[in-house]
Structure 1
């Protein structure tokens, strides 16, 4: 089993490796490529451009030639999966799409938290589409000032802010809180079991394993 992950933040490598261990994936199952330049370009352009989409698709196809399944772990770049899937040699999975399907499956009130503004629109689209199949009520929230902390390398403060926003969302009546970006996953460890959010690394890796099952 070889699962290739395209990341846009170095810190997500450890996040996915940790979740892979928790899911008992064989050691060495994950292969990581980090393309921070793609997210930086999208932030500068305030969203995806045709050139960023082309570069992302090229990176995904290259990874697919040496893997059994490919995970795109950046929610800002998520829409590129639609463009590349038809010509892909292996399954291509958006981790935020897997998250949206899991979060909305049972209906209820789902609040998806985002840390960076460029992911708001793609997250809203993917969660709204998933909610149509279950009748879930979906709200997308931006955690204000969180991304500045992440960019500054203040990861503990970043995760604390995400955890606080998760608590607020549950207190506001959410049935499920979903952390839309992989970098947010560590906040789950700061919360009680009653307020645990769903995270995209776990949802994405489970979807990858399901895609590989005969």
Structure 2
């Protein structure tokens, strides 16, 4: 049985990604998921306005801890620390996947792209990744990014006010979608806000959970 260690910065993503990894593994295939959670990193990043040395140290510690579980691969479920996770590839002997990397690659294929987040700390890493993917594809000159931080939405989800969260985030996403070809949901937890949308609108919202879990499972199947 293949094993995936998933690094989370919020407990919200744990059940969702477990379900998606099981689906991506395919019928008749089993995948063991080990969840590693540190919910102190995002508050610290947002409080300090930058990724601190403490956050970097704790993420590197989690990467090393994930390796000791015997995992075949590591999936970083948080876009805010995705760049750190890439740097951390140098200290472990197993692949480290960013959950938002496949999504960013898809976004780079469009011209007008909206990027939405509920945390300020997530906007820059996501837009930087999309721009990098556009540069790799030779499309950097034509890419136009429009960013939006949906203030106070995260606290609603933390307080269990899920319907209010879905409504607030959904309304903001629809407005952003009206001005762009696609909208990137910069945090995995935001995908819930578009689950019940009409298919035509939903497919224009690029989310990281499905494409990110499919990417790591596709790699495991090739081993």
Q: Root-mean-square deviation (CA), in Å? A: 1.9
Deviation at 1:184, TM superposition (A): 0.8
Q: Tell me if the contact between 1:7 and 1:34 (Cα under 8 Å) persists in the aligned partners.
A: yes
Give the Cα–Cα distance (whole angstroms) in 2 for the partners of residues 8 and 156 of structure 1.
22
Partner of 2:94: 90
Is 1:124 the counterpart of 2:155 in the alignment? no
Mapping for residues 1-214 of structure 1, pairs under 5 Å: 1-25=2-26, 26-65=29-68, 66-104=70-108, 106-134=109-137, 135=139, 136-172=143-179, 174-196=180-202, 197-212=205-220, 213-214=222-223
Rate the CA distance shift 1:206–1:28 in 2: closer, same or farther, 3 A: closer
Deviation at 1:166, TM superposition (A): 2.1
Give the Cα–Cα distance (whole angstroms) in 2 for the partners of residues 184 and 153 of structure 1.
14
Deviations 1:100-137 (A, max 9, x none): 11222x32322121111111221221121112234243
Deviations 1:193-214 (A, max 9, x none): 1111221111211221233324
Gaps of 5+ in 2: none
Q: Tell me if the contact between 2:126 and 2:186 (Cα under 8 Å) persists in the aligned partners.
A: yes
SS at match of 1:47: coil
Deviations 1:134-188 (A, max 9, x none): 424322221233223223332221122222222112211x222221101111112
Aligned length: 212
Quick check: which has more Rg, 1 or 2? 2
Moved over 6 A (4+): none
